[in-house]
Structure 1
Amino acid sequence: MIARKFWVLALGILMIGFSSSVTAEVPEIGQKAPDFRLSTPDGHPVRLSEFTAKGTVVLVVLRGFPGYQCPYCQKQVHDFLLNGDKFAAAGAEVLLVYPGPPADLDQHAKEFLAKQNPLPANVHLVVDPDYAFTNQYGLRWDAPHETAYPSTFLIDGQGAVFFRKVSREHGDRTTAADVLGELERDKAAHAH
């Protein structure tokens, strides 16, 4: 009996160790985007599935706060905000994910958007203070002074990914024009 309990315990420890070493895969085109729930810097909960139920979601994963405000992120978000009305006209909600260490992340996110307030009604910033989302999507950039690989996903009303770009460097970001072009192509493809 004791030997059996030992083997059950040993197997349980092995399974826990194995499951924690398995990293999530970045969602592929055609796959369902894993649902997640994050909060705005002011604490309002946001769930991906609530947005996809309304239509297309532009999911932009920023570097967030790797110890400073990323100038590439600021430039990219500014571009998206300038084109907020075009995203609205395309029926798309823009969801910006701001990851980073939990200490003061809400405050850092507010500082990041200080010059951008108020946000257009269809643009939402959420924080990922414990990297739950970042890890779930396989985007954790686990290096000193890094948080997440800058990425963009377009997700349709059924929750399927129809465009993705993951950058393994600071630059090389999608632009608003890139994303608006993809939204237009997707709309044309579904019109036939």
Structure 2
Amino acid sequence: MILAPLLAAVLTAGPIAPPEEPASKAPPKVGEKAPDFRLPELNAEKPVTLSKIAADGPVVLLVLRGYPGYQCPICTRQIGAYLQRADEFKSAGARVVMIYPGPEEKLQTFAREFAAELKLPDGFTFLLDPGYSFTNDYRLRWDAPRETAYPSTFVLASDRTVSFAKVSDSHAGRTKPEEALAALKAMKK
């Protein structure tokens, strides 16, 4: 007797909803809101959130390869090019945030080695991504031997909306500072 009412309820309830779709398998795209994150700064005790950084103006988010077993010379050149244009990023009101991903063990040591020669001006921030939490959330994990993350650049408005996105599927193909500066200029129009 109990089975009949239960069967009737199931049959009249309509179709069963499919399970929720998994999160996007792609990095944030232009027009989407970039996920917030909380990552440690290289030489600071308190973590930093993207929402707090972005609240002060646009953000250029540079995702480096981190430490895939060596310090990436292309990352070093890319950062050098951005540092040479630091005044232009400051004039655009933008913060440049570099993210250095890798496994938790020894990541801080490797990041310090990478950043030892860098003189970061105001408006530049160097963050660590221990254990790939950010890299995985942004779907940038390059899960192959001696790899960490796809080199990527995102230009974000103060509400974290992506106005420019470039993800390289190789070691080259990096975003040049002039591309990021053009994206910042286009945001003001």
TM-score tier after normalising by the smaller chain length: 0.7 to 0.9
Task: State the AA in 2 paired with 1:39.
Answer: P
- Pairwise CA RMSD: 1.6
- Aligned length in residues: 169
Change beyond 3 A, Cα 1:22–1:48: closer
The reply on whether 1:66 has 2:68 as its aligned counterpart is yes
1:25 positional shift: 2.8
- Structure 2: which amino acid aligns with 1:96? M
Query: Shift of residue 22 of structure 1?
Result: 6.3
TM-score between the two structures when normalised by the length of structure 1: 0.84
- Per the TM alignment, residue 157 of structure 1 is displaced from its structure 2 partner at its CA by 1.1
Structure number with greater Rg is 2
State how far apart, in whole Å, the 2-side matches of 1:163 and 1:186 are: 9
Compare the two structures and name the one with the higher helix fraction.
1
Q: Which moved further from structure 2: 147-156 or 105-114? A: 105-114
Gap regions ≥5 residues in structure 2: 1-18
Segments of structure 1 that go 5 or more residues without pairing to the other structure are: 1-17
The more displaced of 37-46 and 66-75 is 37-46
Partner of 2:29: 28
TM-score by length of 2: 0.85
- Aligned residue runs from structure 1 range 5-84, under 5 A: 24-42=25-43, 43-84=45-86
- Aligned mates of 1:113, 1:84 — CA distance in 2: 16
CA distance in 2, matches of 1:23, 1:147: 20
Q: Percent identity?
A: 47
Counterpart of 1:145 in structure 2 is 146
> Any conservation in 2 of the 1:41–1:107 contact (CA below 8 Å)?
no
Q: Which amino acid aligns with 2:114?
A: F
Q: Provide the C-alpha distance between the structure 2 equivalents of 1:100 and 1:169, rounded to a whole number of angstroms.
A: 17
- Per-residue CA deviations over 1:141-192 (Å, capped at 9, x if unaligned) read 00000000000000001110010000000011011111112211222x2xxx
CA shift digits 1:34-92 (9 cap, x unpaired) = 00000012233111000111110000000011111000100001111111111011000
Matches within 5 A, 1:98-109: 98-109=100-111
Shift of 1:128: 0.5
Does residue 139 of structure 2 align to residue 156 of structure 1? no
> CA contact under 8 A between 1:24 and 1:135: conserved in structure 2?
no
Q: Which residue of 2 aligns with 1:111?
A: 113
Match of 1:9 in 2: none
Q: Distance in 1 between matches of 2:179 and 2:89?
A: 12
